Amino acid sequence: MEDVQIIPIPKIEDYRGNIAVVENDVIPFSVKRVYYLFDVPSGSYRGGHAHKELKQFIIAISGSFDVVLKDYKNTVKRITLNNPAKGLLITPGVWRELENFSSGAVCLVIASDVYREEDYIRDFNEFLETGKF
Ligand code: TYD
């Protein structure tokens, strides 16, 4: 959980609007995949898993939502993302749940690898067990 952090995304501000750029050293991994959640119904829960190796950088491109993080000791941290110029770095071995999506929220995820179901831990008890080793 110590490596989980909010990282500011450099912005180019202009009276015509702003540009936020994720490039070079903004995030500590090379990008293999980008995906986004949109049209999330209110009251919906997403996530509910951890990753063995995947690193992710999550940005509320529009609207807001909460990310609930849990480590192997079941320490809980709730982070609200609502700023398109800030992202949340989630490292491997951290359980995450996404909830409280505002209407029109878009959650952009920049990931260190392609989709591999083998990298998921979807059972919370198995997740806690994994941490004992
Ligand atoms: P999942 O990662 O469980 O969604 P979330 O964490 O946002 O709740 O993925 C939901 C489904 O979509 C699951 O069947 C796997 C599939 N999926 C892909 O095929 N490729 C992907 O890149 C992602 C993120 C999910």
The CA 33 to ligand 1 mean position distance, Å, reads: 12
- Give strand ranges (E) for 4-133: 5-8, 11-12, 19-20, 33-37, 46-51, 56-62, 65-70, 76-81, 86-90, 95-99, 106-111, 120-121
The CA 73 to ligand 1 mean position distance, Å, reads: 26
49 is annotated as an active-site residue: yes
Whole-angstrom distance, CA of residue 104 vs CA of residue 40: 8
CB 107 within 8 A of CB 69: no
The yes-or-no verdict on residue 133 having pLDDT over 90 is no
Verify whether ligand 1 is closer than 6 Å to residue 47 (CB atom): yes
Of the two residues 64 and 131, the one the predictor is more confident about is 64
Q: Which atom of ligand 1 is nearest to the CA of 117?
A: 15
Q: Which atom of ligand 1 is nearest to the CA of 33?
A: 22
Lowest-pLDDT choice from 26-30, 50-54, 129-133: 129-133
Domain residue ranges of the chain, discontinuous segments joined by +: 5-130
- The pLDDT tens digits for 7-22 are 999 999 999 999 999 9
Does the domain made of 5-130 have the CATH classification 2.60.120.10? yes
The yes-or-no verdict on residue 51 having pLDDT over 90 is yes
In the structure encoding, which two tokens stand for residue 61, read together? 């491109």
What was the pLDDT predicted at 132?
A: 65
The CA 17 to ligand 1 mean position distance, Å, reads: 32
Verify whether ligand 1 is closer than 6 Å to residue 46 (CB atom): yes
What was the pLDDT predicted at 130?
A: 87
The tokens 């179901």 sit on which residue? 117
- The pLDDT tens digits for 79-119 are 999 999 999 999 999 999 999 999 999 999 999 999 999 99
